[in-house]
């Protein structure tokens, strides 16, 4: 159910509040560009700075506005298991198609703790769950053996988003879990290598900016046409790189602002880009012949 080109959607703000009108415009943009699904309230959606009330409002509004035109995945991970259960239960109640559960961060649970955490959520809420392994942010990796246990014991754990440069891990996961379990890249520049090893797509940051091209690359790879997929990978590589010259989602939200999709507004501790890096970002967007309406690049 959850494969292909999925956008890790930004959360637009205006004057300190979530900008629901801009959120609607972003969703429509991805419907029109045939993105396979939208992920709201993930890392790129600045979920750590959203209140619980805002988090729930974004998920509910995204589901309502999507109106079945595109799948909606809700980020519902949390450090505390009871909070993850609450957010996941809410996502199911309002009609989200699936949930993304990041590994608890800062408290650094053991593998047994990770197993019990995800199992508790999966047993409490009957909704498709995508695990989210991003050790560079969480400080802990969900071991392949832990994912294997979870998949064996929890049939609604259906996929894993892998934000890691370790291709041996991807090979190990594919060997352990087989073709029925979906692996998704969590890093645009590693999507093609992961798909060569059996991943089924990407939860993409670059998709916010160039959704048709990212989808085309993924679709070619799914069809086994790695020559065309590789051509698009190299074409998009400068974009992939520039969107991470500062901490995600600062560059991609700045890019969306330059393209007229949202305000350039963040919540501390995130802040605007340095002037030299913003200039480089705008220049890169223009090199792709994207119509920038803001920024002098």
List C-alpha distances in Å: 271 to 65, 190, 248, 250, 251: 29, 27, 11, 7, 10
- Distance (Å, rounded) from C-alpha 165 to C-alpha 43? 18
pTM over 0.85: yes
Q: What is the pLDDT of residue 40?
A: 98
Candidate list 161, 200, 215, 253, residue with the active-site label: 161
Q: What is the pLDDT of residue 297?
A: 53
- Distance (Å, rounded) from C-alpha 271 to C-alpha 274? 9
With H, G, I as helix, E, B as strand and everything else as coil, classify residue 32.
helix
Q: What value does the mean pLDDT take over residues 130-149? A: 95
pLDDT at 133 over 60: yes
161 carries an active-site annotation: yes
- Distance (Å, rounded) from C-alpha 118 to C-alpha 124? 10
The ranges assigned to domains in the chain are: 4-223
228-286 pLDDT tens trace: 999 999 999 999 999 999 999 999 999 999 999 999 999 999 999 999 999 999 999 99
CB atoms within 10 A of CB 228: 14
Task: Fill in the DSSP letter of residue 199.
Answer: -
Q: What value does the mean pLDDT take over residues 23-36? A: 98
Candidate list 56, 132, 215, 253, residue with the active-site label: 132
277 carries an active-site annotation: no
With H, G, I as helix, E, B as strand and everything else as coil, classify residue 265.
coil
188-227 pLDDT tens trace: 999 999 999 999 999 999 999 999 999 999 999 999 999 9
DSSP notation for 61-129? HHHHHHTTSSEEEEE---SSHHHHHHHHHHHHHHT-SEEEEEPP-SS---HHHHHHHHHHHHHHS-S-E
Query: Tokens 């798909």 correspond to what residue?
Result: 195
Q: What is the pLDDT of residue 2?
A: 87
Q: What is the pLDDT of residue 293?
A: 84
Q: Does domain 4-223 have CATH number 3.20.20.70?
A: yes
């Amino acid at each position: 159910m959850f494969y292909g080109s999925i956008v890790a959607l930004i959360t637009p703000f205006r004057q300190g509040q979530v900008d629901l009108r801009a959120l609607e415009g972003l969703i429509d943009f991805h419907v029109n560009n045939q993105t396979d699904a939208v992920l709201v309230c993930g890392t790129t959606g600045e979920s750590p700075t959203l209140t619980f009330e805002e988090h729930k409002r974004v998920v509910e509004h995204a589901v309502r506005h999507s109106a079945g035109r595109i799948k909606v995945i809700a980020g519902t991970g949390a450090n505390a298991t009871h909070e993850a259960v609450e957010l996941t239960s809410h996502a199911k109640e309002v009609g989200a198609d699936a949930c993304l559960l990041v590994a608890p961060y800062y408290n650094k649970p053991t593998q047994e703790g990770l197993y019990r955490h995800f199992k508790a959520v999966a047993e409490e809420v009957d909704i498709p769950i995508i695990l989210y392994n991003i050790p560079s942010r969480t400080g802990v990796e969900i071991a392949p053996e832990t994912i294997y246990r979870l998949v064996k014991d929890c049939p609604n754990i259906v996929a894993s988003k892998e934000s890691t440069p370790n291709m041996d891990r991807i090979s190990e996961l594919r060997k352990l879990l087989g073709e029925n379990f979906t692996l998704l890249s969590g890093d645009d520049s590693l999507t093609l290598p992961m798909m060569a090893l059996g991943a089924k797509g990407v939860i993409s940051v670059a998709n916010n900016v160039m959704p048709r091209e990212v989808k085309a690359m993924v679709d070619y790879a799914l069809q086994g046409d790695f020559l065309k997929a590789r051509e698009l990978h190299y074409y998009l590589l400068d974009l992939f790189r520039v969107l991470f010259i500062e901490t995600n989602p600062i560059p991609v939200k700045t890019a969306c602002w330059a393209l007229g999709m949202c305000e350039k507004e963040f919540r501390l501790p995130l802040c605007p880009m340095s002037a030299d890096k913003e200039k480089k970002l705008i220049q890169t967007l223009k090199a792709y012949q994207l119509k920038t309406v803001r920024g002098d690049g």
